[in-house]
Chains A and B, each alone.
Chain A
Amino acid sequence: KNEVEQSPQNLTAQEGEFITINCSYSVGISALHWLQQHPGGGIVSLFMLSSGKKKHGRLIATINIQEKHSSLHITASHPRDSAVYICAVPYSGGGADGLTFGKGTHLIIQP
């Protein structure tokens, strides 16, 4: 089973700051997911990436397959970015698998 480690677990920052959340995993994967969970529990898929870098608005996700590491960056952070950010990878590494999740990073952006 793939093991996922995320850091930091909690992060409080001021509006406008550049945010970085890190994720490492133990087993080679087909793709890694970054998810956002709001207080009500609903989950939004932010990125699925298997190599390099993806950008969507103020969010950037990068992955280094050799080092089994990914980062999620938020530029010009805003209070509405406050949420739990979760890294997830296939359970055994393959694309057909269910996901195993990191414990999440609880992000608070203060105005």
Chain B
Amino acid sequence: GAVVSQHPSWVICKSGTSVKIECRSLDFQATTMFWYRQFPKQSLMLMATSNEGSKATYEQGVEKDKFLINHASLTLSTLTVTSAHPEDSSFYICSARGLAGAQQYFGPGTRLTVT
């Protein structure tokens, strides 16, 4: 149980285009989903917290107009990288937390390369 999927697993896009990444909890309802990113050789960093039905909370330094997060249902959150630039190339990972407890379940990640 407690499986989280992400789609796509990797994507290459041209600079200036937008990319949408989906995060789904497959067998549980996730009231909260978190989005993290990891640059090469660096730690994972929290980007934003997404609660179902409400606006996401972004961490300092993360542009909310560039990284659009939608958490429209208890099983799906999406991250859209708008007007992507090469410096947005990174590994994006979501995690989901269920109705009870603090356990977070991680998706497999999406590797974004912007050319």
Question: Which residues of the other chain, A, contact B30 by a CB distance below 8 angstroms?
Answer: none
Given contacts A41-B111, A98-B49, contact A103 B43 (CB under 8 A): yes
Q: How far is the CA of A105 from the CA of B32 in the complex (A)?
A: 28
Q: Is A21 an interface residue (CB 8 A)?
A: no
Interface residue count for B (Cβ, 8 Å)? Answer: 23
Q: Is the interface of B mostly helix, strand, loop or mixed?
A: strand
Interface size classification for chain A: 20 to 34
User: In A68-111, which residues have CB < 8 Å from any B CB?
Assistant: 86, 88, 90-91, 95-104
Known: A31-B102, A48-B102. 11 other contacts (CB 8 A): A42-B106, A43-B44, A43-B106, A43-B108, A45-B103, A48-B103, A91-B46, A97-B49, A99-B36, A101-B43, A101-B45
Enumerate chain B interface residues (CB-CB to A < 8 A).
32, 34, 36, 38, 42-46, 49, 59, 91, 93, 95, 101-106, 108-109, 111
